[in-house]
Structure 1
Amino acid sequence: MTRIRSIDIYAIALPLIRPFIIAYDTFREMPTILVRLETDEGVVGYGEATPDEHVTGETYWSTIEVIKHHLGPAVLGENPFSIERIHDRMNQKAKGVPAAKAAIDIACHDLMGKLAGQPLYRLLGGPSHDELVIPYVMSIQPPEVMAQEAQAAVAEGYGTLKLKVGTDVASDVARVQAVRQAVGPDIRLRVDVNQGWGYAAETLQALKHMEALGIDWIEQPVHADDLDGMADIRRKTAIPVMVDEGLLGDKEMRQITQKNAADWINIKLMKCGGLYPAVRLNHQAEMAGIRVQIGSMVESAVATAAGAHLSLAKKNIWSNEMVGPRMFAKDVADFPVTGDRIRLGESPGLGIAVNEETVASLMRIHVKLA
């Protein structure tokens, strides 16, 4: 029987083409952690953890330590196909730490696909879609700068723009207005506040000015734990509402459903612990009549590929933001994106070839467990 015989942990930092500016932070590079699992047959699977203390409650260094000392030893000797047992063992070792668990989960799924000789989306039930369309994601900048960047993105062929906002209501409304005026009425706009406005009253004030701008949805305008505020906003605006940071796992999903707090949810593998729990969240959303987006913490080609396979496989996943590889000056693998389109092929597992020389050039720390 196939067993996991060794685990390598690579702490790296991916260089961004330009700074990524959101409501709560500015990133000039993206620290991330790759996990390499090898079976006793010599088959290799890759996973990734991209933690964020503002979202997942984990830091870069804590994630390395919890994989090294707790999660990694718990899964050595396990069959990668025993994914429910693996999650149970990880949960017994550590509460929370979803990004760390996602790294193990994704690597196990990569192994499953390779051992079965199938692309991962086939193991997840797909394909339900022929291809995936990604948006162009815009950092917080002055309105005129965002307007110029939006025009350039549209000229490159993007039909959907995601605007990061979350400073103050007046400035953020001006940003959205400037972009809409610059690109015209046919380009789709999505607005992500990343909890920046904080309260329902501020959000409703902003949305009153945005209702005529034709935005697809407003994402996480209030604090993550304020699902009552999200429900209040949803009752009082015609603009669809998306919960992101307010959704980690099953507990929050039940509350969102009970409170009628969202039209959309944003499932991120780093928030929920990987593909196995993400599939469960998607099923719950589908039963509740809530649409799903698969989001990204701006991850390398490894976790991006995992999210893309899931997005391709499930009909209730209507949107995805597998944009990380488009934002990096250097990545650990080539990713199949052309313009705003992702087309996954027939290669088994995640369908990417991790360049170990590139990993070595970006590496800060390497830990091996066997």
Structure 2
Amino acid sequence: MKITEIEVYAIRLPLNEPFVISYASYDDMPSIIVKLTTDTGHVGFGEAVADDHVTGESWESTFTVIRHTLAPQLIGSNPSCFERIHEVMDQAIYGVPSAKAAIDIACFDVVGKAMGIPAYDLLGGRYHEKFPITHVLSIASPENMAQEAAERVAVGYGSLKMKVGTNIAEDVQRIRAVRERVGPNIAIRVDVNQGWNNSANTLQAIRQLESSGLDWLEQPVKADDMDAMVEIKSKTSTPLMIDEGLRGVREMREIIAKRAADKVNIKLMKCGGMYPAMKLAHMAEMAGIECQIGSMVESSIGSAAGFHVAFSKKIITSVELTGPLKFSKDIGNLQYDVPFIQLNEKPGLGIEVDEQVLEELTVRREKVIG
């Protein structure tokens, strides 16, 4: 089996409502879709959701890198040789993890379809039967966040992830308001997205939140300040999760060596796809660090890929892949049984891509043919 054609689509996914985090606000979600075709006639889809602040890539640059750098190098390659595919991509260009993730995901999808097995069987088989879904609250007023939290709990959600990171005093009010509204038995995870900047600010906030019973605090400081995470971890009993500070193997080695976090948030867009994500999970497993598969607000394609990784590893204990629930129109049909998700046993990613909707949302499209 060889790759004969790679088509690249730049699309914009419409959101039900704006998504607001500490460093950006999105009215829609820009995404790059890859359609990979083999000489056996099988077709696989992949996705890249770039983030200027996290992966150092933009929507426009990712399209260009895939179209002009990665795709031409991969025509004629066997998509099942995952290690070699990544070697070719790494030799072609340094970094650009979300661009490489799009190719990686498409390879897993097409190989699974060709072999008639789900993608998780290519990763060692299925371990988890289902995962609870965490509802993500984007930044708003304390009252609005508390009201949205109460509405989600009423329909069955047992955990909430709060986006904060604008102003410590306001963030503390937001967290306290949500905790007061939903009661003590709902899990609350707080994601600062680097917004508290340093350890001093973070420790000040944590002291004010000791009675709020947080499940964990995610990436409160700048991504590259690993020593600040070490200091915070040594001075609080609130579990710490690293997100933006973990991109690949180098950062994972440092996290393990310094014991800089209790949990890590692995994202396919940060590390380069499903194959590198499994390598990071194996490293974390050896160090006894629990993992989460997180989201860059991908469509059904990228979200399904993340779920296949999550379902295959015991050390992956939580997921936050809720992008498809936020879109008013999606290109795929990933099925949620809110507040849970249970993957099917269909080949590849197990989803169907509506190419008519894909065309409708496409802003730009180009094709590379062998």
TM-score by length of 1: 0.99
Q: Where in structure 1 do 4 or more consecutive aligned residues deviate above 3 Å?
A: none
Look up the match of 1:110: 109
Look up the match of 2:149: 150
**Match runs of 1:123-272 below 5 Å:** 123-272=122-271
CA RMSD in angstroms comes to 0.6
Look up the match of 1:299: 298
Instruction: Give the match's secondary structure for 1:337.
Output: coil
C-alpha distance after superposition, 1:230-249 (max 9, x if no partner): 01000100000000000000
C-alpha distance after superposition, 1:36-81 (max 9, x if no partner): 0000111000000000010000000000110011100111100011
Look up the match of 2:317: 318
Look up the match of 2:5: 6
Percent identical residues: 54
Deviation at 1:340, TM superposition (A): 1.5
- Counterpart amino acid of residue 117 in structure 2: Q
- Counterpart amino acid of residue 144 in structure 2: V
Instruction: Give the match's secondary structure for 2:252.
Output: helix
C-alpha distance after superposition, 1:349-370 (max 9, x if no partner): 0000000000000000010000
Supply the distance in 2 between the matched residues of 1:79 and 1:144 (Cα, whole angstroms): 53
Supply the distance in 2 between the matched residues of 1:169 and 1:261 (Cα, whole angstroms): 22
Look up the match of 1:348: 347
Instruction: Give the match's secondary structure for 2:324.
Output: helix
Look up the match of 2:276: 277
C-alpha distance after superposition, 1:273-293 (max 9, x if no partner): 001110000000011111000
- Counterpart amino acid of residue 120 in structure 1: A
C-alpha distance after superposition, 1:101-136 (max 9, x if no partner): 000000000011111110111221231111011100
Alignment of 1:331 with 2:330, yes or no, is: yes
- What is the count of residue pairs matched by the alignment? 369
Look up the match of 2:76: 77
Supply the distance in 1 between the matched residues of 2:21 and 2:272 (Cα, whole angstroms): 23
Supply the distance in 1 between the matched residues of 2:328 and 2:107 (Cα, whole angstroms): 28
- Counterpart amino acid of residue 108 in structure 2: H
- Counterpart amino acid of residue 258 in structure 2: K
Structure 1: segments with no counterpart, 5+ residues: none
Supply the distance in 2 between the matched residues of 1:320 and 1:286 (Cα, whole angstroms): 16
C-alpha distance after superposition, 1:219-259 (max 9, x if no partner): 00000000000010001000000000000000000111111
Instruction: Give the match's secondary structure for 1:334.
Output: coil
Structure 2: segments with no counterpart, 5+ residues: none
Supply the distance in 2 between the matched residues of 1:34 and 1:360 (Cα, whole angstroms): 11
Instruction: Give the match's secondary structure for 1:364.
Output: strand
- Counterpart amino acid of residue 29 in structure 2: M
Supply the distance in 2 between the matched residues of 1:212 and 1:288 (Cα, whole angstroms): 30
C-alpha distance after superposition, 1:264-315 (max 9, x if no partner): 0000000000011100000000111110000010000000000011111100
Instruction: Give the match's secondary structure for 1:64.
Output: helix
- Contact preservation (8 Å) 1:3, 1:79: yes
Instruction: Give the match's secondary structure for 1:20.
Output: strand
TM-score by length of 2: 0.99
Supply the distance in 1 between the matched residues of 2:110 and 2:147 (Cα, whole angstroms): 44
Look up the match of 2:43: 44
Instruction: Give the match's secondary structure for 1:215.
Output: coil
- Contact preservation (8 Å) 1:211, 1:238: no
- Counterpart amino acid of residue 162 in structure 1: K
C-alpha distance after superposition, 1:145-188 (max 9, x if no partner): 11111101111111100000001111101100000000001111
